């Protein structure tokens, strides 16, 4: 369990003090993938860098498994950092070292392994990220995706209990991004490793994360399970981030509400009902005929979900009775 | 110059030229060795103690930086003379090849250190930060990150310094330091023996060219691609 308690961080900018983080608190459960999303300048990097104290907050505490690392002295902190992996947007590999030697670097820092043991561990890690065949290359000879795999292998070298990813896929093309995200999901599953990742892309959150925090102007404006936040976004920033990725309906709802004379209902399917012909069934039973206005069918992490906006053209029952009927089928219905 | 008599070349005292060449190489080699030994740590110290850097010590940095600037602003001839008592104390003589080495080192160290500082500044901040995130301590960062990552730049800086030292050695004739530059001045300039001047200049040019191409080829060999 990672606990961030009331951390604030200010920067001096042109004589003025700007709050990069303003009283941020988070709780991250062990073994989960926790996403932090926000617009550029929201304070995401500052926040993730506070988790290993690359950045010292002005106030507040950061506890990893009950240990308050803000109280550690320099030495203890350096020791602790060896077991916190960090992956960077621009990879930050050592140009002077081969792939294998880059992965070996954190093992050298930690000490305690013989050269042969280090080599064995390097091979293990390269196999994990699928780079066995590139062992002797230099970073300059690798593609972006391969560089990030080296970055991930390096971050995992000392068996970390926490992996921090600052926009790990922002410099990669969509296909490579998917492959790297799949690798991270795999690592999370195989090693039970807690992952905190930063992104400005809701798709990354949807594909990978269990929980999410939305950051805006240094404040957490929304947090919770990804499913809940996606299906019922509360804050305007969340809604607009979702809308940009074609996953939000907040804006659409208003438009349809004005244009369509008939009552409008919003149906939300999560999990099993998504795969059932619920609308058809209820349509027959309640004589419900609808005009579909918009819809999303997708997956959040591994859970299928759908959302439909529909105008009620005809119905044997009163519209206000529809939520109860849909609820029997496991579908949430709201009359807008 | 146009009616230069090539037969004069036969009359040159090649033994003296040979000795002068050896003197120049000795001064260059020994002073370069000490310059790197002292200048590299000083350059690293300047880099890490600068404001906003890994071990920011703004006071220390200001003092070191000022000293470096003072030494770099003094003309080398002045340095040669000013340092004579100090040289005598240190190596037992203040003249000749041995006497020249001390001022050469004192002149070149601040020059090289400043170059080193600038080369280290080129190291990607992200890479330094990544190593901090892995728990690296300062010695780790210096020896495993800063120096290896900037090796091509450091070799370039050493080459520039060596070439500058060749120029300095020429002036060491003032204190009887000997060497090719001294020869060029004494015979070529003061006694109008143009042929000796030409030969020494050609040799100095060959030396500088050699240093530069050796440096360049080393840099090429250790670039990281
Ligand atoms: N070293 C610094 N000095 C001054 N201001 C800083 C510094 N680092 C960050 N800031 C400011 O703090 C705020 C948050 O920056 P941060 O890098 O955390 O944002 P971010 O959410 O990661 O943005 P991006 O998506 O662009 O990476 C910004 O207003 C930024 O200008
Ligand atoms: Mg950032």
Q: Indicate yes or no: CB of A106 within 8 angstroms of CB of B135.
A: yes
Instruction: Select from A297, A293, A306 the least CA-distant residue to A257.
Output: A293
Which residue in A54, A108, A154 is closest to B132 by CB distance?
A54
Please state, in angstroms and rounded to a whole number, the distance separating the CA atoms of residues A260 and B132.
58
In sequence order, which ranges of chain B are alpha helices (DSSP H)?
Answer: 8-11, 14-49, 58-73, 76-82, 84-91, 96-121, 125-133, 138-140, 147-149, 151-171, 180-183, 194-222
Do residues A54 and A171 both lie within one domain?
A: yes
Q: Are residues A37 and A106 in the same domain?
A: yes
Whether A208 is covered by a domain: the verdict is: yes
Q: Look-up: residue for tokens 């519209």? A: A319
Give the per-residue SS3 of B49-76.
Answer: HCCCCCCCCHHHHHHHHHHHHHHHHCCH
Q: How many domains does chain A have?
A: 2
Q: Does ligand 1 have an atom closer than 6 angstroms to the CB of A11?
A: yes
Clarify whether residues A218 and A260 are in a common domain. Answer: no
Answer whether A329's CB lies under 8 Å from A273's CB: yes
Same domain, A216 and A70: yes
Q: Contact A88/B149, CB-based, under 8 Å?
A: no
pLDDT, chain B, mean: 90
Q: Are residues A49 and A171 in the same domain?
A: yes
User: Is residue A146 domain-resident?
Assistant: yes
Please judge whether A105 and B132 are an interchain contact, meaning their C-beta atoms are less than 8 angstroms apart: no
Residue A162 within any structural domain of the chain: yes
Same-domain pairing of A291 and A183 = no
Co-location of A67 and A147 in the same domain: yes
Query: Is there a domain that residue A248 lies in?
Result: no
Pairing of strands A33-38, A211-216: parallel
Residues 74-93 of B with CB under 8 A from A: none
Tens-digit pLDDT profile for residues B48-89: 999 999 999 999 999 999 999 999 999 988 888 888 898 888
**pLDDT score for A63:** 96
Nearest chain A residue to B125, by CA: A92
Chain A residues touching B130 at Cβ < 8 A? 86, 88, 92-93
pLDDT > 90: what percent of chain B? 59
Measured on CA atoms in the order B155, B160, B161, B162, is the torsion positive or negative? positive
Last residue of a domain, one of A222, A243, A264: A243
Q: Is residue A239 located within the same domain as residue A280? A: no
Q: A141-171 in b/e burial notation, b at 16+ Cβ within 10 A?
A: ebebbbbbbbbbbbbbbbebbbbbbbbbbeb
State which of A217, A243, A269 marks the end of a domain. A243
| Better-scored residue on pLDDT, B184 or A74 | A74
CATH number reported for the structural domain that contains residue A325 in this entry: 3.30.70.260
By C-alpha distance, the chain A residue nearest B143 is A109
Return the structure tokens found at A27: 């709780």
Q: Tens digit of pLDDT for each residue in B139-172?
A: 999 999 999 999 999 999 999 999 999 988 888 7
H helices present in A112-248, as ranges: 115-128, 144-156, 174-191, 202-208, 226-231, 236-244
Q: Which residues does chain B have within 8 Å of residue A81's beta carbon, measured at their own beta carbons?
A: 132-135
pLDDT top residue among B192 and A110:
A110
Let me know whether A12 and A154 are in one domain. yes
- The per-residue pLDDT for A32 is 96
Give the strands of the sheet with A2-13, arranged side by side. Answer: A16-28, A2-13, A59-64, A67-68
Contacts with A108 from chain B: Cβ below 8 Å: 144
Q: Is residue A122 part of a domain?
A: yes
Question: Are residues A118 and A140 located together in one domain of the fold?
Answer: yes
pTM over 0.90: no
Last residue of a domain, one of A191, A222, A243: A243
Per-residue pLDDT of chain A (336 residues; tens, 9 = 90+): 999 999 999 998 888 999 999 999 999 999 999 999 999 999 999 999 999 999 999 999 999 999 999 999 999 999 999 999 999 999 999 999 999 999 999 999 999 999 999 999 999 999 999 999 999 999 999 999 999 999 999 999 999 999 999 999 998 999 999 999 999 999 999 999 999 999 988 889 988 999 999 999 999 999 999 988 988 889 999 988 888 776 665 556 666 666 777 888 888 888 887 778 888 888 888 888 888 887 877 788 878 888 888 888 888 888 888 888 888 888 888 888
- Same domain? A101 vs A156: yes
Residue A12: both structure tokens together: 């001096």
The answer to whether the CB atoms of A78 and B149 lie below 8 A apart is no
**Whether residue A153 sits in one domain with residue A297:** no
> Which residues have CB under 8 Å from A163's CB, separation 6+?
A84, A85, A86, A87, A155, A156, A184, A187, A193, A194, A195, A196
Task: Kindly identify which residue of chain B lies nearest to residue A93, measuring between CA atoms.
Answer: B127
Task: Compare CB distances from A78 to B124, B137, B144 and report the shortest one's residue.
Answer: B137
Q: Which CATH architecture has domain B18-221?
A: Orthogonal Bundle (1.10)
User: What whole-number distance in Å separates Cα of residue B155 and Cα of residue B219?
Assistant: 6
Confidence of residue B3 (pLDDT cuts 50, 70, 90): low
- CATH number, domain at A163? 3.40.50.300
B190-to-A46, B172, B182, B184, B208 alpha-carbon distances in Å:
68, 16, 11, 9, 24
For residue A62, give its domain range.
2-243
CA separation (Å) from A335 to A239, A257, A286? 19, 11, 16
């Amino acid at each position: 369990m990672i606990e961030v308690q009331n951390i604030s961080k200010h920067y001096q900018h042109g004589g003025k003090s700007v709050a990069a983080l303003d009283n941020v608190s988070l709780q991250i459960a062990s073994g989960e993938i926790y996403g932090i999303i926000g617009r550029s300048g929201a304070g995401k990097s500052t926040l993730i860098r506070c988790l290993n104290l690359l950045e010292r907050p002005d106030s507040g505490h950061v506890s990893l498994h009950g240990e308050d690392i803000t109280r550690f002295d320099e030495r203890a902190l350096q020791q602790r950092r060896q077991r916190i992996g960090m992956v960077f947007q621009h990879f930050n590999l050592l140009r002077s070292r081969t792939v294998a030697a880059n992965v070996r670097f954190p093992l050298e820092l930690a000490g305690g392994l013989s050269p042969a043991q280090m080599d064995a561990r390097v091979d293990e890690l390269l196999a994990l990220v699928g780079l066995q065949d590139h062992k002797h290359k230099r970073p300059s000879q690798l593609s972006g995706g391969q560089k990030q795999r080296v970055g991930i292998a390096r971050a995992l070298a000392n068996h970390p209990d926490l992996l921090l990813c600052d926009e790990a896929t922002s410099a990669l093309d969509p296909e490579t991004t998917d492959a790297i995200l799949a690798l991270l999901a795999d690592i999370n599953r195989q090693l039970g490793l807690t992952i905190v990742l930063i992104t400005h892309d809701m798709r990354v959150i949807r594909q990978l994360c269990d929980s999410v925090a939305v950051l805006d102007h240094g404040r957490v404006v929304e947090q919770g399970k990804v499913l809940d936040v996606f299906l019922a976004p509360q804050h305007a920033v969340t809604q607009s981030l979702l809308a940009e990725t074609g996953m939000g309906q907040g804006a659409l709802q208003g438009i349809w509400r004005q244009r369509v004379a008939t009552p409008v209902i919003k149906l939300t399917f999560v999990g099993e009902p998504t795969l059932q012909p619920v609308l058809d069934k209820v349509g027959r039973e309640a004589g419900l005929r609808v005009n579909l206005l918009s819809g999303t069918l997708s997956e959040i992490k591994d859970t299928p979900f759908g959302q439909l906006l529909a105008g009620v053209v005809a119905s044997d029952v009163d519209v206000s009775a529809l939520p109860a009927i849909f609820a029997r089928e496991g579908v949430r219905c709201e009359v807008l | 110059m146009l009616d230069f008599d090539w037969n004069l070349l036969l009359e040159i005292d090649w033994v003296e030229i040979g000795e002068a060449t050896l003197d120049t190489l000795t001064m260059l080699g020994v002073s370069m060795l000490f310059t790197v030994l002292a200048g590299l740590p000083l350059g690293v110290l300047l880099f890490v103690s600068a404001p906003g850097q890994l071990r920011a010590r703004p006071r220390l940095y200001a003092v070191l930086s000022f000293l470096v600037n003072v030494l770099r602003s003094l003309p080398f001839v002045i340095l040669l003379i000013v340092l004579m008592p100090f040289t005598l104390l240190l190596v037992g003589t203040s003249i000749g090849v041995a006497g020249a080495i001390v001022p050469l080192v004192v002149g070149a160290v601040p020059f090289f250190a400043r170059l080193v500082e600038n080369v280290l500044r080129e190291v990607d901040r992200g890479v330094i930060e990544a190593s901090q995130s892995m728990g690296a301590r300062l010695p780790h960062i210096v020896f495993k990150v800063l120096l290896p990552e900037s090796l091509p730049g450091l070799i370039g800086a050493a080459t520039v310094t060596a070439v500058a030292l060749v120029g300095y050695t020429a002036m060491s004739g003032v204190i009887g330091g000997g060497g090719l530059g001294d020869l060029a001045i004494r015979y070529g300039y003061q006694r109008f023996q143009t042929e000796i001047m030409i030969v020494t200049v050609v040799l100095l040019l060959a030396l500088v060219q050699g240093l530069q191409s050796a440096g360049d080829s080393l840099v090429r060999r250790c670039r990281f691609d």
